[in-house]
Structure 1
Amino acid sequence: MLASSQASHLVKFALPALILVWTFHYFTTSATAYTTVLRKFKDERELFVSDFLEHEVDGAFDGSSIAELCSRKQWTPGVFLSCESPPAGLANVKNAHLNCIRIAMEMGAELILPGIIKRDDRNIAWTNPKTKAAIHGEDMDYFFDMDHFNSSLSTYCPQLRLHRSINDLWEIPSLLQATKFSLTDANITLVNTTIVADPSSVQSKLKTFVNTKSPPHLRKNPVHFTLKLSYWAWPTQSDGVAFARHFGRILRIRPDARRIAASALFNLHKRFQLGIDPRLGLQNDSFVGVHLRTEADTVHSRPKFPTYEEQAAYYLDYAVQSKASVIYLATGASGENITSFIDRARDFNIAVVQKQDVLDHADATVLDRFTYDQKALVDYEVMLRAGRVTGTSESPFAWNLAMRRRNVYLMDGVSTVEGTTTGTFTQWRDRYSTLFGRTEDSPGMQRTIWP
């Protein structure tokens, strides 16, 4: 009887212990199960925002191709490169900065980071500061996540030494004077007036140019070169598919703008029951992103943008053909054109929303402190997640979106892209993006944009 009682007590305590041990073992050896259970206890909004921030639309960043390229370059101590600061919107600035960084790699130089010249919020067509002297403008964190940028390059290209501005090098007087040059000054051949014809020759030509201006045997102090503005110069595919896919991603959008975009997308998803999961890349049946581009800076721009009537007709037809019930409209059009577009879309039973329509008060308050161009950062992040995107091929912003979204297409295992850059009104089309327009610059932008 006593033995039976002892056995009963043993079972009573052993069984819960075994269950506890099994549970501990299961959840500590199965990350998926552990994460799945924890997710059920998290707030839906915060979970969505967290997923958005942790999962970029084209997968995890991989800098191994950058590391391989940097390991092959010749690095010259005492040579510093700076680049003129671009006065423009996100896509132009991003590509100008990436061109600058890529040329620094070829030159084997230390890099003084370029700035960003703010545009006038009251008239974004005005981009020229009231000075004849070269200015640095805003630091790169005006647009970009500098922690990610510095971490990426220090990890994958530690040979490239970075300096925030010339002010950080005050103790080296020889750097106060710089030799300003263009790519053609370095005897680099360009096609279509802007694109490097032979990337494999650039390193040797830059070395020759530097050594001609500052012979090594006479160089007693560090020397400084400044590259003139260069937006569409480097043929991105010349460095290989992996490098082209990941290099541009060292310039990630600043964290506060990405968080606002995540909240906007969550509210959009909930309001229209779109079934968006930020972990799953692109979902074609969610919503259409439209970049209507008619603001004041397009009036005298080159290339010439299509009229509002032309753009609206093609975008609405695209949305109808896509069977979309929701359009997300990005910044880029006049107030009058936005109102007209919203009214016309209603005739097709399509709801049009902008970021301010899908933001809570707290996020809207933060957004109000952004400049015009910083607000476009939010649009960029939301548009990346659209089921389909359309815009005009005259817009570098639209091209950058299309090329970045193409990375998702390539990740699907498709080796060729259904893109076209012909003289027809459709300049690019794949399963995720379509760009309309007539610009002759389309092939050049397509070839030289790092998404």
Structure 2
Amino acid sequence: MDNQIGNEPNNSAISFLCRQPNIKWQPDVVLDLDDANGGIGNVRGNIFDFLGLAILSGSSIVLPSFQSRSSTDLSALWNGKTPFSTFFDEDHFIATFAAACPKMNIYKPKGNHSLPLPLHNRYGMPSMRQDLYPDTRDTEKPNTPSAAVKDLQSWILAQPDRDPKNITLISVGRTLWEGLDTCSLPPAVRRDFGSSLRLIPEVRRLAALVTYNLALTYHLHDIDPRLPYYPSSFLGAHLRTENDAKNAGWLENATPSAHADFDGQTDAYLSQAVERNLQIIYVASGNTSEISKFAKKASLLHNITVTHKTALLSPTDLSTLQALSWDQQGLVDYEVLRRSSSFAGYAKSSFAFNIAITRNEFVDWNRESLWLMPGDRRREDLAFDDGVSRIWGRFEWQEERMLRGAWP
């Protein structure tokens, strides 16, 4: 658990963003992320976009919260706010930014402070991604970081209920991979800023136990927690066929190159395991019947063994896992999959895309993959392939935004 993927965050690398000479820190402006939602992939994207705006504008923040998912309907993502610590290590985050960005105050939502009510209007951050909106170049409102800061400043001055003698609290609407172009930043900044959102200790403890038992059960001798990934141990697969994916229409495309439904995804994942000569597949899925179905298919067709987190925990630790929410249980998979020998995911899933981008950064393999745009020449059935991770199927909207907008 003590070994994170990559190195421990280096505060001097993170402070590269916070100590830009053009930043004018204004402690009397406090931003509050109003409506982050989704699973780990989307929530990370919402928070990092928000943090980018806060730092560049010299603002303080309220520790971000986000909407919880319903325990009875996985498609229902607006089930009331849940705290930052539901997913992320709060102490680690606050300590990281206290050292790297000491001028950015972080207020806890229910802390001992006297923040005023937020301004009546909610602020909508414009995109900072000029690569997504090239037509705005050389206009009055280009999609650049500096233009986004000016937009916020102008917006604040135009608010009729602003009190210049008091702290201004602003509710900020979420954006998703519309913040800083991560590929424009030094690698150390990408890695360390991304590592500031470390998963909660209990999730990391369970992931460590799952990985240890995986190595012990299947005699996977090259699993070493000090490594960024395990070169020849197991394929990590994210099988995204749960009911919320079905309800969203993700599984309906029957075209073979889409790899959308159960057979499309599992055929692709098995072909990848065979190609990499990996006899063990660790599968992440919230649907136990689909896991069993995949295990039978893999054994029958290729004599490949499929396992999963609930099969690799003791009864006591399994009870601990089952006490977590559906999304928190998925975080255990997220942590395990990031170090798999080869990773396979589905293009509609930001969970899978986040894992692939993180692995690309820390394994340091074929970095050019992040510079590809959807129209670039590539296989019609692969959104991403850098040699250690494959994202099967295509989803151009997400490809455009995540490859240069998601943080590792």
TM-score range, shorter chain: 0.7 to 0.9
- CA-CA distance at 1:200 after TM superposition: 3.6
**In structure 1, C-alpha distance between the alignment counterparts of 2:350 and 2:76, rounded to whole Å:** 18
1:401 and 2:350 matched: no
Which residue matches 1:284?
A: 231
Asked whether the equivalents of residues 33 and 173 of structure 2 are also in contact (C-alpha less than 8 Å), the reply is yes
1:91 and 2:41 matched: yes
Q: Which amino acid aligns with 2:6?
A: D
Which residue matches 2:330?
A: 376
Structure 1 residues 301 and 446: alpha-carbon distance in aligned structure 2, compared to 1, 3 A threshold: farther
Which residue matches 1:449?
A: 406
The structure that has the greater radius of gyration is 1
Asked whether the equivalents of residues 79 and 109 of structure 1 are also in contact (C-alpha less than 8 Å), the reply is yes
Which residue matches 1:39?
A: none
- Residue 227 of structure 1, aligned match among 153, 164, 172: 172
Unpaired runs of 5+ residues, structure 1, are: 1-52, 130-134
**In structure 1, C-alpha distance between the alignment counterparts of 2:128 and 2:3, rounded to whole Å:** 43
Which residue matches 2:5?
A: 57
1:123 and 2:93 matched: no
- CA-CA distance at 1:71 after TM superposition: 1.5
Deviates more, 1:250-259 or 1:75-84: 75-84
- Deviations 1:181-208, CA, capped at 9 Å, x for gaps: 2124x99989369x98322432233223
Which residue matches 1:43?
A: none
Q: Which amino acid aligns with 2:90?
A: M
Alignment of 1:181-196 (within 5 A): 181-184=123-126, 191=132
Which residue matches 1:440?
A: 396
1:112 and 2:62 matched: yes
Which residue matches 1:202?
A: 148
**In structure 2, C-alpha distance between the alignment counterparts of 1:434 and 1:448, rounded to whole Å:** 18
Aligned-residue Cα RMSD (Å) equals: 2.6
**In structure 2, C-alpha distance between the alignment counterparts of 1:420 and 1:278, rounded to whole Å:** 31
Q: Which amino acid aligns with 2:13?
A: S
Alignment of 1:35-434 (within 5 A): 53-72=1-20, 73-129=23-79, 137-165=81-109, 167-168=110-111, 171-173=114-116, 175-184=117-126, 191=132, 197-213=143-159, 219-234=164-179, 235-275=181-221, 276-301=223-248, 306-332=260-286, 334-347=287-300, 348-410=302-364, 416-417=368-369, 421-422=373-374, 424-434=380-390
- CA-CA distance at 1:396 after TM superposition: 0.6
Unpaired runs of 5+ residues, structure 2, are: 137-141, 253-259
The alignment partner of 1:362 has SS state of helix
Q: How many residues align?
A: 385
Q: Which amino acid aligns with 2:245?
A: T
**In structure 2, C-alpha distance between the alignment counterparts of 1:360 and 1:187, rounded to whole Å:** 47
Deviates more, 1:248-257 or 1:200-209: 200-209
Report which of the two has the higher share of helix.
1
Asked whether the equivalents of residues 303 and 439 of structure 1 are also in contact (C-alpha less than 8 Å), the reply is no
**In structure 2, C-alpha distance between the alignment counterparts of 1:187 and 1:436, rounded to whole Å:** 28
The alignment partner of 2:111 has SS state of helix
Structure 1 residues 91 and 415: alpha-carbon distance in aligned structure 2, compared to 1, 3 A threshold: closer
The alignment partner of 2:70 has SS state of coil
- Deviations 1:386-408, CA, capped at 9 Å, x for gaps: 11111012111111101111122
Q: Which amino acid aligns with 1:342?
A: A
**In structure 2, C-alpha distance between the alignment counterparts of 1:231 and 1:84, rounded to whole Å:** 13
**In structure 1, C-alpha distance between the alignment counterparts of 2:224 and 2:130, rounded to whole Å:** 46
- Deviations 1:368-419, CA, capped at 9 Å, x for gaps: 1101000011101111121111101211111110111112232x7x764587
Asked whether the equivalents of residues 85 and 114 of structure 1 are also in contact (C-alpha less than 8 Å), the reply is no
Structure 1 residues 187 and 119: alpha-carbon distance in aligned structure 2, compared to 1, 3 A threshold: closer
